[in-house]
């Protein structure tokens, strides 16, 4: 009988140790997943946009780029032309862009396709007004646009001007002037894909967790009642360890439910959606 008591204590100790390790690991994983959110940036190329039928493209009205994709007969820009025929392209003037990114792009079902300078200006204005990066630009660059000055043919001024313009560009003065004219133009150039979030608690975003908690406690109560019933029937059986394991299972249910409530609640209503551009 003495050896049997020690064996039961060993089972209890082993079970409690295993439950402690599992609960701690579960809590740590929840904390790492909920405290750090992954920000999706799904549209990094024109192909990504074309492959998503739920996305509508926004182009500037009557530009050389629009004229180009309407005239090509093959390649990816022919697919853009077909997307226009399917009603997946909207055209807006440059003066409407800031209103467009707030009403159409921000909800996530439109993307704005235009010159990189224009996109950076729109993002910079939004950052200046809101103080955060709600938009991003794609990594892929396409349809390069050459800016130039026009001079008289065979004029000796053209080579001299071209040399100086090239020198200014290579020295980075053009980008420096652009950044000084448009504050925050590079603030969102390297937007993080992982962020730390926090939010306040409210009953409206805790009802699901309370349901889970109540369900777990209900299961634990059923286990406790089953253990009590079996204990009455097996009181004279010293070889069964079921009456020992059932209360431990009850404690495990309660512990896991408590950890779930403690660690899921703070991040339950956290939302950070990086809208598309």
What does the pLDDT read at residue 188?
Answer: 82
Count of all residues that appear for the chain in the document: 277
Burial class of residue 69 (count of CB atoms within 10 Å of its CB; 0-12, 13-18, 19+) = buried
Model pTM score? 0.59
Distance CA(39)–CA(52), nearest Å, equals 18
Chain centroid offset of residue 2 CA: 59
Tokens of 45: 């190329």
Tokens of 118: 């224009």
pLDDT tens digits in sequence order for the chain, 277 residues long: 455 566 777 777 777 787 777 777 766 666 666 666 667 888 989 999 999 999 999 999 988 889 999 999 999 999 999 999 999 999 999 999 989 999 999 998 999 999 888 888 899 889 888 888 889 888 888 877 777 788 888 888 888 988 998 898 889 888 788 888 888 888 887 777 666 666 666 666 667 667 777 777 787 777 777 777 776 666 655 545 555 555 555 555 555 554 444 333 333 333 333 334 3
Burial class of residue 101 (count of CB atoms within 10 Å of its CB; 0-12, 13-18, 19+) = buried
β-sheet bridge partners, residue 194? 38
DSSP H helical ranges for 36-115: 46-50, 64-71, 76-85, 97-100
Strands (E), the chain: 36-38, 56-60, 89-92, 110-113, 194-196
What domains lie within the chain, and their CATH numbers? 11-37+198-267 (no CATH), 40-150 (3.40.190)
Tokens of 16: 């409690």
């Amino acid at each position: 009988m003495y050896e049997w008591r020690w064996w039961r204590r060993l089972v209890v100790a082993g079970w409690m140790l295993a439950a402690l390790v599992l609960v701690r690991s579960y809590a740590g994983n929840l904390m790492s997943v909920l405290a750090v959110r992954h920000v999706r940036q799904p549209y990094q190329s024109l192909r990504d946009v074309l492959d998503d039928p739920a996305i509508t493209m926004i182009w500037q009205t009557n530009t050389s780029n629009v004229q180009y994709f309407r005239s090509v007969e093959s390649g990816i820009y022919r697919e853009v032309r077909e997307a226009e025929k399917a009603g997946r392209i909207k055209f807006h003037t440059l003066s409407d862009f800031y209103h467009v990114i707030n009403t159409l792009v921000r909800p996530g079902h439109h993307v704005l396709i235009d010159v990189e300078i224009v996109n950076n200006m729109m993002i910079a204005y939004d950052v200046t007004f809101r103080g955060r990066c709600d938009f991003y630009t794609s990594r892929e660059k396409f349809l390069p646009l050459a800016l130039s000055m026009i001079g008289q043919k065979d004029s000796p001024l053209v080579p001299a001007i071209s040399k100086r313009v090239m020198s200014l560009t290579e020295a980075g003065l053009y980008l420096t002037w652009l950044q000084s004219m448009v504050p925050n133009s590079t603030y969102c150039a390297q937007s993080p894909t992982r962020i730390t979030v926090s939010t306040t608690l409210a009953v409206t975003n805790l009802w699901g967790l309370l349901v889970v908690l109540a369900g777990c406690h209900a299961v634990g109560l059923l286990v406790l009642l089953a253990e009590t019933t079996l204990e009455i029937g097996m009181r004279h059986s010293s070889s069964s360890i079921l009456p020992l394991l059932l209360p431990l299972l009850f404690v495990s249910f309660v512990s896991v439910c408590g950890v779930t409530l403690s660690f899921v609640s703070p991040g339950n209503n956290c939302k950070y959606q990086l809208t598309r551009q």
